[in-house]
Amino acid sequence: MKTGLQKRGFFLFIGFTVTIILLLTIFELILVRHIIFQYEKQNIDSAMQKIDTIVSEYQERTQTNFLKITENLLGSEQPDYQQVYNFVQNKLENRYVVIYDDQQDLVYGQKWDLIDKYKQEVFRQAGLNLSGNFVISFGKQSFWVDYYSLFDRATENFYGIIITTDNFQEITPNANFFTLSFPLVAEEFAYSNFANFKNKLTPEVEKKTKELLYIRPSSQKAYGVKILYDIKQQPQLAICYHYQRNFNDFAQKSLLVSLLLIAGFLLLVIVFFGNWFSRQIFVPIQFISRRMQQIIKNPQKLEQIENVYQGELADMVRTFNEMERSLTQYRLNLEDYKIITENLDSGVFWLDKELCFKLCNKAMATILETPLSEILGKKLTDFINLSDKEVETIKSETMLLPNLEIEISGKKKHVILNTNALHENDAMRIVGILADITKEVKNAQAMERLELELIKSNRLADIGKKVEGIVHNINSPLNSILGYAQLIKKEQGSSEDLEKIIQAGKNISHQVKELLRKVREDDIGLQRLIDVNKLLQQELSFLQHNIYFKHHINLKVNLAPQLPKITAVYSDVSQAVANILNNAIEALENSAEKDISVTTYQQDNYVCIRISDSGEGIDPENQELIFQPNYTTKMSKTGSGFGLGLAITKNIIERYNGEIEIQSEKTKGSTFILKFLANKE
């Protein structure tokens, strides 16, 4: 049993041989079929000539009888129908004769319904051709019908027609001939295959074919068929010649012998050529194939083949050796690349045009916390949430996302994503690097929070000390003023100016006490329940001492009643609110409309503080930057500002799991929404 390439070559030769045999068989079949058909046609034509001769004799007789009638019986006067009838009976023996006058009335002869139904058509044809003939069938009998026009050419008078009929059964000259009446019935057909015969003949009948037909219902029989029609062109009689196709059997046997000889010769050629081809081609190719199989099983071990061949085989071995050298170099380069990529902390990957992973290193599996086998075949977007714009950028050019936040197994990570789309001919692939910077980002955020806390603590400590000193310095002279005012009132009586002095002193004393209370509350670093509405009222009351705020700004306050309390350090919330209010006041300095609105409300689980101003607004590109430390827009306007207020506010709110939102439109003002978790108790 031959195997491998030799087996495929063997079957190739077998297939080639079978194809040649089939082509020769088809050609010989076509040729033999053509010869058989020509031979059959020649024999059938020769036999059917006898039928044509008989029909021609009938037609000539019709023409001869017509001339006799017109020469002997027609003159200047109307013919004697009795004389015409007697003449025809004497001249045409054993015939049925009838005569109709020019009014189509039967004047002589016995009426026959079979003839009578053709009377009108005979009169019409007689007026055109003067004489003619046709065949009619009645049961199993067939009749030859002649008709003659009693037309005097000299006087151009028409006197009627003569119709004669004759039995047409004796038209078949020997036993190979037979006739069939229409419609065709199996009882009249003396041979087998009537159904095939009828199926092949019927289409020709429908086409009114008058030529000789060749019907071949089987491989053993053939028929020549001549169809005769009546005067209405309806088929009446089929004259058939039966031909026994003995030559066909001989041709088939000859064909079989020829095919066997051809097949035997080709098999000998195959055996000889196959043996030579095997030694010269298959053996060297099998040797090269085995060496390639060895490379597949052990690519680390590559050896060249000694080139002892000539021609195409020598080229093949030379190509194989060059391939071996290229594979060796490629393997070495691949090992170097693998050592580099497998020892990187960053993930290295290769994507197709659909962003599906085709290749990646171990670090990629570590960052995504997913086995390599589960990463390959999946899309990059299955692990990293990217916008449509970012996806299109990855597919078309180089893209760098320096601080991308992703979620892996329920944990948030910060990564750097750098990709580059490579277009080579019609193909495209995307290579990229994914670096985990979660630790670095968290360290930076912790450092940022420590810096903000330190700044806040220092500022609050300084403010507290200054406020306590100021309060102490104010209280002593303020008490003296109120004491002297009360003494003057007692000694001299009450007056309007004195009452104003006393009331003003009491107001100052109240404000100083409130300020001192706020400082002391701010000094308390413990979380406690805070009424947001009261805190806002206190902060707004302190702003009344700001002359610009008191006299130039239109304040609208809408505090929701029965608002839940929040849990936080009082000074933290106070500082966050104060920072937003101070920024709103500063934003109104150059605005024509100076409006500030303060609103509180509850949204889901949050207590919300909305502070809006009608100032200049913030550019969209700056809205994400304003919460970063040391970023400020005031330097260009006033030459002051450290950019810490909003950064501290954001840090405070996020510390209590809250949120801060900004809604701003250039020239139309800004709105800041501070959200604190509501206390559940």
Give first-to-last CA distance, the chain, whole Å: 90
Query: What is the gyration radius of the CA atoms in the chain, in angstroms?
Result: 61
At a CB cut-off of 8 Å and minimum separation 6, what does 157 contact?
78, 151
131 neighbors 189 (Cβ within 8 angstroms): no
For the segment 672-681, the average pLDDT, to the nearest whole number, is 88
pLDDT at residue number 374: 87
Spatial CA neighbour of 96 closest among 146, 139, 161: 146
Residue ranges and CATH numbers for the domains of the chain are: 4-165 (3.30.450.20), 177-244 (no CATH), 344-436 (3.30.450.20), 437-516 (1.10.287), 524-681 (3.30.565.10)
A 10 A CB-CB count for 59 gives: 15
Task: Give the β-pairing of 595-603 and 606-613.
Answer: antiparallel
The pLDDT, as a whole number, for residue 158 is: 81
- Model confidence at 153: pLDDT above 50: yes
Could you tell me which residues are beta bridge partners of residue 611? Answer: 598, 672
User: Confidence class of residue 332 from pLDDT cuts 50, 70 and 90?
Assistant: confident
Using a 10 angstrom Cβ sphere, with 0-12 exposed, 13-18 middle and 19 or more buried, the burial of residue 121 is middle
Ranking 38-42, 64-68, 231-235, 654-658 by mean pLDDT, the lowest is 64-68
In tens, the pLDDT along 516-545 reads 565 555 555 578 899 999 999 988 887 877
Please check the confidence at residue 454 and state whether its pLDDT lies above 60.
no
* Rounded mean pLDDT, 161-168: 82
Q: What is the pLDDT of residues 600-612, one digit of tens each?
A: 999 999 999 999 9
> Residue 572, SS3?
helix
Q: pLDDT value at position 278? A: 61
Contact 414, 336 (CB under 8 A): no
Higher pLDDT among residues 30 and 278, named by residue: 30
| Helix residue ranges per DSSP H, 221-310 | 246-277, 283-297
pLDDT at 386: 87
Parallel, antiparallel, or unpaired for β 595-603 and 554-558? parallel
pTM of the model: 0.37
pLDDT in tens, 246-275: 655 655 666 666 667 776 776 777 666 666
Burial class of residue 77 (count of CB atoms within 10 Å of its CB; 0-12, 13-18, 19+): exposed
